[in-house]
Chains A and B, each alone.
Chain A
């Protein structure tokens, strides 16, 4: 789909390519500018021109259960609070990622779908230990072991280019 061209908010001449955020008199203002003007106004806080329109105040209060970061914080800072935020605010983050890394960048990676589980489990394990919930901790530790094994299998499989579990079992001699 061809995007409609938009003129730079600052010079009003060249084609705008990037949205920058400026604090003018304490008010947060978004400007859509060309590269030349981006140099003048500063590009410290870049946001995608495809920036998701946040519809309601309620949505802005959506909170990541792991770190307490709100969608509002993501919008204000352009940053996320923790690894889990990438799951929690996935829909909002995708346009940002595509803006910075190119359209379709997320499809480039055919990778270990399990790593994310691992990150979350490690988190849960650490919380459980901190809060002295030792039964939970043991449970998470077991799960982590399982996921790690699966990742290992996955890596071996991709190494050997085997799609089938049977091939793998045969290879491992089970």
Chain B
């Protein structure tokens, strides 16, 4: 059964638009837990019968919560990609859903995938300020599940996953940061080495690879064996504090030479105002500059509208709004139109 209305994809997830004291730099925080049921093979090696058994016990439990359930198969590839662009499921699950079940709560701040790579992949997102509370809730629900099914663990390794990289604490914590000033002022190397000292790696916010120039950077705890969730939360909080400090300092410095910053922002504003097509490669760069401009009070566009575009301007979201097939040029054209409309630039220009 597919419970998702297509309207969902015409706006960004509500949780993503919520703002807190730190969202000028840390856009959101996320905890992803993985669990595998003891006594069963992992997904790749399991028989169909085993899979059905594991699936039904986990899905039955989760369905008691606030989730809508759908089998991955009932989603179109385009819908799966859109969920990946909204951080609801991983890029990997979107590309290779297999026979998994996907569960998503009303505002998409919580989701779970059953029997994809892990028996259970569960995610919660929030502002940085609420991360610790939301993580504890996630762990509590996993503990209550364990009353029925023991999770697979190993005395030295911790929670087990088919992938050695995911073993250990059974959870990983991430933050998505917006670091335009740190990157322009060459402070990123410092942030990088601080992250490294905590066993935290940085990845592209969507695909998970590395992209050096991207001002939107996701930091993820990657050293998980021999660690517990509290360690990881503490590491991320300390790193976030340091990142916020460095980025705000860099922004202040840029502001001292305000004509350069203003010029940069107004050029980006001019580009969105008049461009007929905006391609994917330039899209995030423009958006980042506008976001910086909005945070610094240079342009009068609400932050949540810019952040909304960050989701709607992604390839699958924009493609889904183009009527006659996924023609790259039409998608880029739609993106340009949508940015003008959503950011309220049309009215400003009148």
Q: A-side interface residues toward B, CB under 8 Å? A: 35-36, 38-39, 42-43, 46, 66-69, 73, 77-83, 86-87, 93, 96-97, 100-102, 105-109, 111-116, 118-119, 122-123, 125-126
Can you name the residue of chain B whose Cβ is closest to the Cβ of A68?
B45
Partner-binding segment picked from B148-156, B303-311, B314-322? B148-156
**In the bound complex, do residue B42 and residue A80 qualify as a contact, i.e. CB atoms below 8 Å apart?**
yes
Closest residue of chain A to B155 (Cβ to Cβ) is A113
B36, A101: Cβ atoms closer than 8 Å: no
Tell me which residues from 189 to 237 in chain B have a Cβ below 8 Å from any Cβ of chain A. Answer: 199, 204, 208-212, 222-227
Number of interface residues of B (CB under 8 A): 38
Judged by a CB distance under 8 angstroms, whether B71 is at the interface is no
Contact bitstring B218-258, A, C-beta under 8 A = 1, else 0: 00001111110000000000000000000000000000000
Which of B153, B164, B209, B227 is most buried by chain A, counting CB atoms within 10 A of its CB?
B164
Report the minimal beta-carbon distance from A38 to chain B, rounded to whole angstroms: 6
Are A39 and B155 in contact, with the CB atoms below 8 A?
no
Q: Which of A39, A73, A116 contacts B212 (CB 8 A)?
A: A39
Check B150 against A66 for contact (C-beta < 8 Å): no
Q: Indicate if the CB atoms of A108 and B44 lie closer than 8 Å.
A: no
Q: How far is the CB of B156 from chain A (nearest CB, A)?
A: 5
Q: How far is the CA of A107 from the CA of B208 in the complex (A)?
A: 29
Determine whether the beta carbon of A109 is less than 8 Å from that of B226. Answer: yes
Q: How far is the CB of B220 from chain A (nearest CB, A)?
A: 12
Contact B162 A79 (CB under 8 A): yes
The CB with the most chain A CB atoms within 10 A, among B40, B167, B225, is that of: B225
What would 18 A/B residue contacts be, using CB atoms closer than 8 Å? A36-B212, A39-B211, A43-B208, A69-B41, A69-B45, A79-B117, A80-B162, A80-B163, A81-B45, A82-B40, A82-B45, A97-B164, A100-B222, A102-B199, A102-B223, A105-B168, A118-B38, A118-B150
Q: How distant is A130 from chain B, measured CB to nearest CB, in Å? A: 9
B44 touches A77 (CB 8 A): yes
B157 CB within 8 Å of chain A? yes
Q: Which residue of B lies closest to A96 (CB)?
A: B164
Q: A100-B164, A122-B39 are in contact. Are A109 and B156 (CB under 8 A)?
A: yes
Q: How far is the CA of A79 from the CA of B42 in the complex (A)?
A: 9
- Selected from B39, B158, B162, B208, the residue in CB contact (under 8 A) with A123 is B39
* CB closest residue in chain A, given B214: A39
Task: Report if A78-B163 is in contact (Cβ < 8 Å); known contacts: A97-B225, A101-B199.
Answer: yes
Q: Which of A42, A93, A108 has the most CB of B within 10 A?
A: A108
Q: Which residue of B lies closest to A148 (CB)?
A: B150
B160 lies within 8 A of chain A by Cβ: yes
Q: Pick the most buried of A73, A77, A86, A87: most chain B CB atoms within 10 A of its CB.
A: A86
Interchain CA distance A35-B189 in the complex, whole Å: 13
Q: Provide the residues of chain A in CB contact with B223, threshold 8 Å.
A: 100-102, 105
Closest residue of chain B to A106, judged by CB? B156
Given A36-B210, A86-B157, 5 more contacts at CB 8 Å? A79-B42, A97-B164, A108-B225, A119-B150, A122-B39
Q: Are A108 and B163 in contact (CB under 8 A)?
A: no
A22 CB, min distance to chain B CBs, angstroms: 13
- Is the CB of B275 closer than 8 A to any CB of chain A? no
Closest to A86 in B: B154
Whether A106 pairs with B225 at a CB distance below 8 angstroms is yes
A77, A79, A112, A125: the one contacting B155 at CB < 8 Å is: A112
Q: In the complex the two chains form, what is the Cα distance from A118 to B150 in whole Å?
A: 9
- The smallest beta-carbon distance between A112 and chain B, in angstroms, is 6
Which of B44, B155, B167, B227 has the most A CB atoms < 10 Å from its CB? B155
Assembled-state Cα–Cα distance A82/B37 (Å): 10
Q: Does B329 contact A (CB under 8 A)?
A: no
Asked if B209 and A101 sit within 8 Å, CB to CB, the answer is no
Alpha-carbon distance between A118 and B155 when the two chains are bound, in angstroms: 11
Give CA–CA (A126, B163) in the complex, Å: 24
Pairwise interchain contact B163-A114, C-beta atoms closer than 8 A: no
Q: How far is the CA of A77 from the CA of B44 in the complex (A)?
A: 10
Chain B residues with Cβ below 8 Å from A93 are 164
Does B137 sit at the interface, judged by CB under 8 A?
no
Measured between beta carbons, the chain A residues less than 8 angstroms from B41 are: 66-67, 69, 81-82
Give chain B residues whose Cβ lies under 8 Å from the Cβ of A78: 163-164
Pick the contact of A39: B160, B163, B165, B210 (CB < 8 A).
B210
**Chain B nearest CB: distance from A73 CB in Å?**
8
Known: A97-B157, A106-B157. A123 touches B38 (CB 8 A): yes
Instruction: Give every chain B residue within 8 A of A80 (Cβ-Cβ).
Output: 42, 162-164
